[in-house]
Structure 1
Amino acid sequence: MKHLNKLFVAALLAMGLNAQAQDENNPWLVSFGANAVDTRFGQASKFEDKFSEYFNAKDNWNILPSVSYVTVSRHVGNNFSFGITGSVNRIDRLVTRQPGSSEYVVNNPGDLSYYGVDGLIKYSFLNVIGTKWFDPYLHVGGGYTWIDDKGNGTVNGGLGVTFWFVENVGLTFQSTYKHTFEDAADANVPRHLQHFAGLSFKFGGKDTDKDGIYDKDDECPTEAGLKQFNGCPDKDGDGIPDKNDSCPEQAGLQEFQGCPDTDGDGIADKDDACADVAGLKELQGCPDKDSDGITDKDDRCPEVAGPRENGGCPWPDTDGDGVLDKDDLCPEVKGTTANRGCPEVTEEVMKRLNEFAKTILFNSGKATFKEETMPVLQSMQRIFKEYPHARFIIEGHTDSDGSNALNQSLSENRAAAVRNYLIENGIAADRLVSTGFGETKPIASNKTAKGKAQNRRVEVLLIKE
Structure 2
Amino acid sequence: MKNLSRLLFAMLLVLVCSNANAQDKNNPWQINIGVNAVDAYPSGDGAPFSETIFSKFVDTDNWNVLPSLSTITVSKYIGDGFSFGIGGSLNKIENWGEDPTTGEALPVDDLSYYAADGTIKYNVGEALDWKTFEPFLGVGGGYTWIDEVGAGTLNGTLGVNLWFSENIGLTIQSSYKHAFEDYLNTHFQHSVGIAIKFGGADADDDGIYDKDDACPDVPGLEAFNGCPDTDADGIEDSKDSCPNEAGLAELNGCPDSDGDGIADKDDKCPTVAGLKSLGGCPDADGDGVTDAEDKCPNTPGAAANNGCPWPDTDGDGVLDKDDKCPDVVGTVANNGCPEVTEEVQKTLNEYAKTILFDTGRSTIKSQSESVLEDIIKILNEYPTATFTVEGHTDSIGRESTNQKLSEARANSVKDYLISHGVDTSRLSAIGYGESKPIDTNKSRSGRANNRRVEINLVK
TM-score range, shorter chain: 0.7 to 0.9
Displacement of 1:374: 1.7
* Shift in CA distance, 432/334, structure 1 to aligned 2, threshold 3 Å: same
Match of 2:417 among 418, 422, 425: 422
Question: How many Å separate the matches in 2 of 1:55 and 1:313?
Answer: 107
* Contact kept in structure 2, 1:15 and 1:203, CA below 8 Å: no
Give the AA of the match of 2:60: Y
* Shift in CA distance, 329/173, structure 1 to aligned 2, threshold 3 Å: same
Given the two structures, how large is their TM-score scaled by the length of structure 2? Answer: 0.82
Question: How many Å separate the matches in 1 of 2:152 and 2:224?
Answer: 52
Look up the match of 2:357: 362
Look up the match of 2:109: 108
Question: How many Å separate the matches in 1 of 2:138 and 2:126?
Answer: 16
Given the two structures, how large is their TM-score scaled by the length of structure 1? Answer: 0.81
Give the AA of the match of 1:119: G
* Shift in CA distance, 91/446, structure 1 to aligned 2, threshold 3 Å: closer
Give the AA of the match of 1:26: N
Question: How many Å separate the matches in 1 of 2:98 and 2:286?
Answer: 108
Question: How many Å separate the matches in 2 of 1:252 and 1:309?
Answer: 37
Deviations 1:191-231 (A, max 9, x none): 33334344322123343433222344334344322112222
> What secondary structure does 2:60 align onto?
coil
* Contact kept in structure 1, 2:171 and 2:195, CA below 8 Å: yes
Deviations 1:364-408 (A, max 9, x none): 333222222222212111110001121212111234554333332
> What secondary structure does 1:352 align onto?
helix
Deviations 1:54-81 (A, max 9, x none): 2777xx4346x5x553312233455443
Look up the match of 1:47: 53
> What secondary structure does 2:169 align onto?
strand
Q: Give the alignment of 1:170-209 within 5 angstroms.
A: 170-180=169-179, 182=181, 186-187=182-183, 189-209=184-204
> What secondary structure does 2:301 align onto?
coil
* Contact kept in structure 2, 1:141 and 1:155, CA below 8 Å: yes
Give the AA of the match of 2:65: W
Look up the match of 2:152: 153
Q: Give the alignment of 1:240-279 within 5 angstroms.
A: 240-279=235-274
Deviations 1:143-176 (A, max 9, x none): 2212344221222234444443442133434443
Give the AA of the match of 1:392: F
Match of 1:84 among 83, 86, 97: 86
Identity of aligned residues (%): 54
Look up the match of 2:296: 301
* Contact kept in structure 1, 2:390 and 2:410, CA below 8 Å: yes
Give the AA of the match of 1:344: E
* Shift in CA distance, 3/141, structure 1 to aligned 2, threshold 3 Å: closer
Give the AA of the match of 1:47: I
* Shift in CA distance, 166/14, structure 1 to aligned 2, threshold 3 Å: farther
Question: How many Å separate the matches in 1 of 2:452 and 2:187?
Answer: 153
Displacement of 1:49: 6.9
- How many residues in Structure 1 have an aligned counterpart in Structure 2? 448
Question: How many Å separate the matches in 2 of 1:55 and 1:172?
Answer: 23
Displacement of 1:128: 7.5
Q: Give the alignment of 1:94-133 within 5 angstroms.
A: 94-95=95-96, 97-98=98-99, 100-108=101-109, 112=112, 114-124=113-123, 126-127=125-126, 132-133=131-132
* Contact kept in structure 2, 1:397 and 1:437, CA below 8 Å: yes
Instruction: Determine if the alignment matches structure 1 residue 237 to structure 2 residue 232.
Output: yes
Look up the match of 2:74: 72
Question: How many Å separate the matches in 1 of 2:349 and 2:392?
Answer: 13
Question: How many Å separate the matches in 2 of 1:62 and 1:318?
Answer: 116
Instruction: Determine if the alignment matches structure 1 residue 405 to structure 2 residue 400.
Output: yes
Question: How many Å separate the matches in 1 of 2:28 and 2:310?
Answer: 81
Deviations 1:242-300 (A, max 9, x none): 23333323222223332333222334444544433323344444433223344444544
Give the AA of the match of 1:356: Y
* Shift in CA distance, 102/457, structure 1 to aligned 2, threshold 3 Å: closer
Look up the match of 1:435: 430
Match of 2:330 among 315, 331, 335: 335
Question: How many Å separate the matches in 1 of 2:263 and 2:247?
Answer: 9
Look up the match of 2:319: 324
> What secondary structure does 1:156 align onto?
strand
Which stretch shifts more, 299-308 or 367-376? 299-308
Which stretch shifts more, 455-464 or 70-79? 70-79
Displacement of 1:40: 5.5
Displacement of 1:419: 0.7
Displacement of 1:134: 4.7
Displacement of 1:434: 0.8
Look up the match of 1:61: 65
Deviations 1:60-105 (A, max 9, x none): 4346x5x553312233455443322223x36463436456443434
Question: How many Å separate the matches in 2 of 1:303 and 1:55?
Answer: 102
> What secondary structure does 1:93 align onto?
strand
Question: How many Å separate the matches in 1 of 2:123 and 2:321?
Answer: 91
Question: How many Å separate the matches in 1 of 2:359 and 2:41?
Answer: 165
The unaligned stretches of length 5 or more in structure 2 are none
* Contact kept in structure 1, 2:42 and 2:97, CA below 8 Å: no
Question: How many Å separate the matches in 2 of 1:463 and 1:448?
Answer: 32
Question: How many Å separate the matches in 2 of 1:52 and 1:323?
Answer: 113
* Shift in CA distance, 238/15, structure 1 to aligned 2, threshold 3 Å: farther
* Contact kept in structure 2, 1:41 and 1:54, CA below 8 Å: no
